[in-house]
Structures are given as structure tokens and as C-alpha cells.
Amino acid sequence: MNLAIIPARGGSKRIPRKNIKDFHGKPMIAYAIQVALNSKLFDHVVVSTDDVEIAHIAKSYGAQIPFMRPDTLADDFTDTVSVVAHAIEHVDFLDMHEIKQSTACCVYPCSPLINESDLQKAMACLLSSSADYCVPIVAFEHSIYRAMKIIDGKLSMLQPEQAKKRTQDLPVTYHDSGQFYFGRVEAWLKRRPILSGDAVPYVMARSHAVDIDTDEDWRMAERLYELSSRD
């Protein structure tokens, strides 16, 4: 069995109610639900929320709400693995005999730029490996080997030995895209850390990954969505 789990609490701070804020004519969470459904990968698309309004909207777009998330898992410090594990433990349609063959994809509710192909390719990466997780990553736009800090008002390179190297000669480095994670149900239930060393990468297009935490991030996501809609 393959599950999509969308964690969407009601208490977002920096952008209030961002999970259901209007984004190009639909609540933000609608995009995550629809891309999961349209990917045809999942037997069930579940939203884990503590918020009645979010639950109502999620249902209207085709998601299942088999439980309400407790307040203890809806604060600013709750980690993703705990939320996904709780969701898996509280659905009644997962046969415990199927655990070793089952996957769960955590799709964040503010991921309007990913497409069905992203999910499909990430799942293929996971299933073609023996890893616990597949983590979508994006290449850093600027080399971290040229990173600097300010000390007493002056610039200091973190790695001064790299100063004379050409950018194209420096290793390519990546960061977590922050859009979704694919994992084996067994790994989620055992609360294994996602970035524990047993994860395979799926390299995403940078234009599909905007971490939406501020109003500026939101505007950037809107512009990228408009551009992608013209393609």
C-alpha cells in the first residue's frame, strides 16, 4: 500500500493560515492534494490536521481525514517523522502484514510547484534502492565553498583555501528541497531520522521548490507558478 500524508496544522505563525490561504484561486493545500491524487501513486491521500476548517477544505478537494491530530503534535517543535508516524498509526486501512511492502510520502501543504512527475520519479528512486527514504534535493545556486562570514566588520571566507578555484571546479552541493519526502512505512513507524545516512536523492528543478515561510517567499512562489502555467 502507498499512502500520501499531508501535514497541515492550523497554527502557522509567519504567514497566518497559510495552508488554506488563497493561491491563484485555490486554497494552498489544494495543490498538494491534487498533485498527490493526480500522480496515481497512492491508495489513500490523508491530511493530518488539528484544524476543523483545514479538514473541511481538504475533504472538499478529495483528501481523507480519518482522525484529527492532537494538540501535542501540532506545536512549533513537532518534527515531521512524529507526525507521519502518528498518521500511519491512526489510519484503519493499512494491513500490518503489508508494512514491509508499503510506502508513505509526506507532501507538505505549501508545495504548489511540484508536479506528478516529481512524485513518480522520487518513488522510483526509493523503490529501486534499499534505502529508508528518498529526499528531493536542489543544487545550491551559489557554491557554499565561497561562503563568507563577517568578523569585526570585515569579510572572512569560511574556506579560504578555495578562494582561487574557479566556481566550475568546486563540487556541486545540494540542500533539502523542503517539498516532500518519500519513505518506507517501516522506517516512518520506527521513527528513523530522514537524513540519517540511509536516504537516496532525487534532484529536483530549482523552479519546483520554494520554501514558503515569508511574504516574500509567497510572492516568489506566485511568480514561479505564473511562469510554469505559461509553459
pTM (2 d.p.)? 0.94
Query: Residue type for 213, please?
Result: D
Contact 150/156 with Cβ under 8 angstroms?
yes
**Burial (CB count <10 Å: 0-12, 13-18, 19+), residue 6:** buried
Give the other-Cβ count within 10 Å of 164's Cβ: 7
pLDDT band at 37 (very low <50, low <70, confident <90, very high): very high
How far is the C-alpha of 134 from the C-alpha of 20, rounded, in Å?
27
Q: State yes or no: pLDDT of 10 exceeds 60.
A: yes
Q: State yes or no: pLDDT of 207 exceeds 60.
A: yes
| 224: enclosing H helix or E strand | helix 215-230
pLDDT band at 94 (very low <50, low <70, confident <90, very high): confident
Backbone angles phi, psi at 172, to 5 degrees: -75, 130
3-state secondary structure (DSSP) of residue 56: helix
Nearest to 92 by CA among 120, 71, 64, 128: 64
Q: Which domain holds residue 146?
A: 2-230
Q: Which residue(s) pair with 150 in the sheet?
A: 155
Q: How far apart are the first and last CA of the chain?
A: 34
pLDDT recorded at residue 210: 94
Numbers of helices and strands, H then E, in the chain? 6, 11
Q: What is the CATH number of the domain that holds 198?
A: 3.90.550.10
DSSP class of residue 158? S
Residue 227 C-alpha cell reads as 511562469
Q: State yes or no: pLDDT of 40 exceeds 60.
A: yes
Contact 58/33 with Cβ under 8 angstroms?
yes
pLDDT in tens, 114-135: 999 999 999 999 999 999 999 9
How many domains does the chain fold into?
1
